[in-house]
Amino acid sequence: MSKLKEILALVRSINGDEFHEQITDGDSLDDVYRELLFLSKKIESKKNRTDVIIDHISNCFAGDFFHQLPISEEQDELDVFCMGFNTYIEELKAVMVSRNLLEIINKKLVEEKEHSKQLVRAKDEFMSNMSHEIRTPLNGILGFTNLLLKNTSLDTEAKKQLDSIKISGDILLVIINDILDLLKIESGQIKLSEKPFDLRQVTHFIYNTFSIQITEKEIDFDISIDKNVPKSLIGDSIRISQILFNLVSNAIKFNHSKGKVGLKIGVDKIENGYHFIQISVKDTGIGIPSDKINFIFNPFIQVSNDTGRKYGGTGLGLAVTKKIINIMNGEIYVKSKLGLGSKFTTTIPLLEYTSDSSVSQPVINNDQSVISVSDGKIKVLVAEDNRINQLLVRTVLKRFNFDCTIVDNGKLAVEALIKESFDIILMDLMMPEMNGYEATLAIRSLEDVTKKNIPIIALTAVVTSPVIEACTSIGIDKYMSKPFEANELHKMIIELLQTDKT
Ligand code: ADP
């Protein structure tokens, strides 16, 4: 083989391996030259495309994902690489977009969460302030109405009108208390007491509370309590009364006149020492439509728009009832037939109280004679800034035959105590100049031991766990929520003075 042919064969073998093309059939020097020229152009073009690819990749690394690698007509391995790379970048872009999107969504969610937390806080604060603002004047209305109702010289008409004021005030108080209860439960502030109580007594108390409505509506009311229900149980009797109150109130309210209400109490089972007390309240009233039955335990839900107008109520009772039952680890369900009546059944696990139960039995001693006070009359110092409440407390204390000095704020209370001797202080918590907490702290750091240890009762419109904790931690002995019941205040003062003397 001539040298020329050998060179041409070599060029064609390279060309054949790499480019699969041959442009001449001959084997002259011109042919060799053309083949070599063709080959060098091909190599040059590949080099240029490789440079473009390298540039493109480094641009991608620098963040430019918006251009694609060009695909030539060669359909060679560089094109295969370019197509693969373009697909890879498209996928990468999709992942990045969704990751960015996720980050944005996450950020938005965190902002929304914070925003809704702020809204909940604002709502709670608003509700609790509003309740406080309503309870304070209500204290005046109910307190004076109660005092006026005791006035025997009232004619029947005036007494009837006063009764109406009292009923309206009591209803308003129930609503405010329900709202406060819901807030307390939702923010986990509600604490249940664990004290011995008699469920039979509670049941009869509830019956007596509704006796007027029962008589007026001629309701056939039947109470049956199984003999297996222990005489004494441990639990929060106030909250259990509240549950019974709401269920019985609805059974009467949504009943026809001459309808029937059955209140049945039994023991469903005994497990791990707990009596699962089952309370059912059955009525022959208007019943609940099946499409509404699942919603009646939600707050502010009434079966129809005119329920409130026709029967009264706010749609809060069952929401509070269910939440309290849940906190007690109990359950409640309802069965109802429209036009025929409803049956609410709740089961609450409660321990039986026995002499070796580890809870303390409250000892209530109403014997006032054992108290010995400074000069015969109990001397009460009252710190209260609201004029109406001042007047009310003064009237109530006068009826108890107590001696009463009233000051407008905590600072004046401390000054009065330093100057004079008192047996007990009734302290409002929210007052201008010096509030009840600050005044108590100042009193508890006085040098005179008797004055320093004087019993203090906080009179406050809002009794929440933080308020109770704050009261206890600074040395307030007892607290009473406003509006207060005159007799309860009397009992509390007497008990506190008795403990103080023993
Ligand atoms: P309220 O009684 O203040 O309206 P509740 O939360 O106690 O609020 O009850 C919510 C709603 O459930 C009532 O408005 C009423 O529509 C319905 N409901 C509750 N108890 C009964 C009942 N015993 N019979 C008929 N409807 C009832």
CB of 246 closer than 6 angstroms to any ligand 1 atom: yes
Q: State pLDDT tens for residues 309-323.
A: 777 777 889 999 999
CB of 341 closer than 6 angstroms to any ligand 1 atom: no
For atom 21 of ligand 1, which residue has the closest CA? 250
Strands 260-271 and 220-225 turn out to be parallel
pLDDT above 60 for 23: yes
Give, in order, the Cα–Cα distances in Å from 219 to each of 34, 263, 339: 118, 13, 17
Domains of the chain: 3-186 (no CATH), 195-352 (3.30.565.10), 379-501 (3.40.50.2300)
Per the listing, tokens 């950020």 go with 107
Q: What is the whole-number distance in angstroms between the Cα of residue 439 and the centre of ligand 1?
A: 45
pLDDT value of residue 415: 95
- Phi, then psi, of 418 in degrees rounded to 5: -65, -40
- State the Cα–Cα distance between residues 112 and 94, nearest whole angstrom: 26
CB of 206 closer than 6 angstroms to any ligand 1 atom: no
CB of 280 closer than 6 angstroms to any ligand 1 atom: no
Give the model's confidence band at 362: pLDDT under 50 very low, under 70 low, under 90 confident, else very high.
Answer: very low
Q: State pLDDT tens for residues 180-192.
A: 778 778 777 777 8
Q: Which amino acid is at 21?
A: E
Which among 372, 378, 420 has a CA at the least distance from the CA of 399?
378
pLDDT above 60 for 270: yes
pLDDT value of residue 168: 77
pLDDT over 90 percentage in the chain: 36
CB of 286 closer than 6 angstroms to any ligand 1 atom: yes
- State the Cα–Cα distance between residues 68 and 86, nearest whole angstrom: 6
- State the Cα–Cα distance between residues 427 and 434, nearest whole angstrom: 11
pLDDT value of residue 391: 83
Q: Which two tokens stand for residue 282?
A: 């059955």
pLDDT value of residue 477: 93
Q: What is the whole-number distance in angstroms between the Cα of residue 217 and the centre of ligand 1?
A: 18
Angle, helix 387-399 to helix 77-149, in steps of 10 degrees: 50
Residue 342 burial by Cβ neighbours in a 10 Å radius (0-12, 13-18, 19+): buried
CB of 245 closer than 6 angstroms to any ligand 1 atom: no
CB of 384 closer than 6 angstroms to any ligand 1 atom: no
SS3 category, 128 = helix
pLDDT value of residue 118: 86
pLDDT value of residue 1: 63
Give the model's confidence band at 373: pLDDT under 50 very low, under 70 low, under 90 confident, else very high.
Answer: very low
Q: State pLDDT tens for residues 145-185.
A: 888 888 878 888 888 888 878 877 877 887 788 877 787 78
CB of 261 closer than 6 angstroms to any ligand 1 atom: no
Least confident of 114-128, 211-225, 279-293: 114-128
Q: What is the whole-number distance in angstroms between the Cα of residue 182 and the centre of ligand 1?
A: 17
Q: Which atom of ligand 1 is nearest to the CA of 315?
A: 8
pLDDT value of residue 469: 81
Q: What is the whole-number distance in angstroms between the Cα of residue 224 and the centre of ligand 1?
A: 23
pLDDT value of residue 365: 37
pLDDT value of residue 379: 93
Categorise residue 105: left if φ over 0, alpha if ψ from -120 to 50, beta otherwise: alpha
pLDDT above 80 for 280: yes
pTM to 2 decimals? 0.55
Q: Which two tokens stand for residue 148?
A: 């006026």
